[in-house]
Chain A
């Protein structure tokens, strides 16, 4: 607990933790928005969510190794992942949309294993990152360091989230997506091609994650096995924030990011992931207890 004393004696460290948490939290929120979209529209919990993030990172990594500017990785990763998401929908996901929830959980879990093993075979299990070429700000006499790329990643993820929101609100296709989410049968009767809506939804989700992954590889680092924690974080954020509310998803994402930074600092970095997973269980159990009072179930 010596780190706790450190925090109390030098409050400026709190600023560092809060800022770092906020930056990474925006990425969590981005992946969570995608998960909420797929969950709400298709009634599928996409366990391969974190792997899409990881793939987006590797797409950017390849681009940079080929000599392109890293920022180009964001649109590139989004496009590649969009195509991949579409292809996955056409190959596998469409068969499980109306099926048993467990089947879709397990199928997307299988996809996630395939992707991480594939990347492990191709790139190896090492932790990778790309150089963004951006500098560092020092605040409070150098006590707090802020890398500019993290700030950029933060704002870019907020912008991407807002763009998606505008798309869902105003675009014709976005409206079709929302209609399908509310009542797929009614939408079908009214002439919405729900199959296409599902394909687009799944592809948009993959693209969102891909863009997030591009930001992650620039501002932090990636490796083939990073996916599952991202999936579980997204799940947790969606549970806390609900399916329909962008602002609360972002708030929950930022909150989780900060909580994680504190946990990592106080408990030691080796327990940071354990904290995330236990927090997930705690959130679920907490919801279950409040529901049990009304004799309802978490389902």
Chain B
């Protein structure tokens, strides 16, 4: 899709999101989740689809963002250890509207930054690996993070942690919706811009032939690190908001959930790896499928999701956008591809 029309569609999508609370007030939580998942899929794709580093462990940044934000939100008002020791419940830990808002305003960016910091540390250790070694190492990291969180008493260990309970005066569902929408809007616009810059070519070069990129003098290490840090930052932001959406933060079922970790990959692949619109479309399609599964499959939905992974990956690896692209290649142009008409004229000239 041409850059300008693509941007117009994107603005329309974001604007449509603004109307959410009036159009679907009863399903606001689901739509919040949809926006956040979109951020996860896009962020995964920056590494997996665009840079060629297929991470099974991006969920780690989701969890770090979630916990970091919750710690700040609680810590601003109460000692965190006492709060988690009391299982976060009880009547003594009450948050006023101001405390809640201040906590969110500080906690969410902090969650993103901590995730980013973690990405830089992990990146220094892991980004020298390639292919399946990188994938398995990140998987190990993600499950280790969940186990460690489940053993750490400060953040509630295995029994989890509860995000601050909003006072009755706050319409929290709507607040969280707008936070989710806001994070998604920023992420969508940022990624759309990022993928139109030269940076995209640099990371695509890494994906297609890293040795060649190096031989051309690219700062491959720096570019990989930057991509992973950006990916982690937005994943962390999404995690920070998600903690407030689900309210209860379980170390293994929510924060470092292998399930969500696989979903973000699946959404990107379903829509089309290595494209901007792929993860966006993939998220929407996946979300509809997931809601249907959860409604109609009564307990067997997770089995069906496993089957869905196999089917998508084996039979449909190019994804929706990849399929459209191979059918109508002329819809897609980039600076290096020039104007589609021009390319067509060249082709005709070559045949003449």
B133 & A284 in contact (Cβ 8 Å cutoff): yes
B140 & A285 in contact (Cβ 8 Å cutoff): no
**Residue B306 CB within 8 A of the other chain:** yes
A281 & B307 in contact (Cβ 8 Å cutoff): no
**Residue A10 CB within 8 A of the other chain:** no
Name A298's contact: one of B56, B129, B141 (CB within 8 Å). B129
CB of B304, distance to nearest CB on chain A (Å): 9
**Residue B314 CB within 8 A of the other chain:** yes
Task: Select the stretch in A128-136, A165-173, A270-278 that faces chain B.
Answer: A270-278
CB of B137, distance to nearest CB on chain A (Å): 5
Q: How many residues of A contact B (CB 8 A)?
A: 43
Name A281's contact: one of B132, B137, B151 (CB within 8 Å). B137
List A contacts of B125 (CB < 8 A): 281, 285, 288
- Write out, one digit per residue, whether chain B residues 118-153 have a CB within 8 A of any chain A CB (1) or not (0): 000000011011111101110111011001101100
A111 and B310 in contact (CB under 8 A), knowing A277-B141, A281-B137, A299-B131?
A: yes
B309 & A110 in contact (Cβ 8 Å cutoff): yes
A-B pairs with beta carbons under 8 A, tally? 129
How far is it, in angstroms, between the C-alpha of A284 and the C-alpha of B310 when the chains are bound? 27
List A contacts of B302 (CB < 8 A): 113, 117, 120
B130 & A92 in contact (Cβ 8 Å cutoff): no
List A contacts of B141 (CB < 8 A): 277, 281
How far is it, in angstroms, between the C-alpha of A284 and the C-alpha of B110 when the chains are bound? 30
Nearest residue in B to A118 (C-beta to C-beta)?
A: B303
**Residue A146 CB within 8 A of the other chain:** no
B309 & A107 in contact (Cβ 8 Å cutoff): yes
List A contacts of B135 (CB < 8 A): 102, 105
A284 & B137 in contact (Cβ 8 Å cutoff): yes
**Residue A80 CB within 8 A of the other chain:** no
B307 & A232 in contact (Cβ 8 Å cutoff): no
**Residue B341 CB within 8 A of the other chain:** no
How far is it, in angstroms, between the C-alpha of A120 and the C-alpha of B299 when the chains are bound? 10
CB pairs A–B below 8 angstroms (17 shown): A100-B317, A107-B314, A109-B56, A109-B309, A110-B306, A111-B310, A115-B306, A117-B302, A117-B305, A268-B151, A271-B148, A273-B143, A277-B141, A277-B147, A281-B140, A284-B137, A288-B126
> A residues bordering B, Cβ < 8 Å?
45, 92, 95-96, 99-103, 105-107, 109-115, 117-118, 120-121, 228, 232, 235, 268, 270-271, 273-274, 277-278, 280-281, 284-285, 288, 291-292, 297-299
Top 5 A-B residue pairs of the complex, sorted by shortest distance between their CB atoms? A110-B309, A114-B306, A277-B144, A274-B147, A113-B306
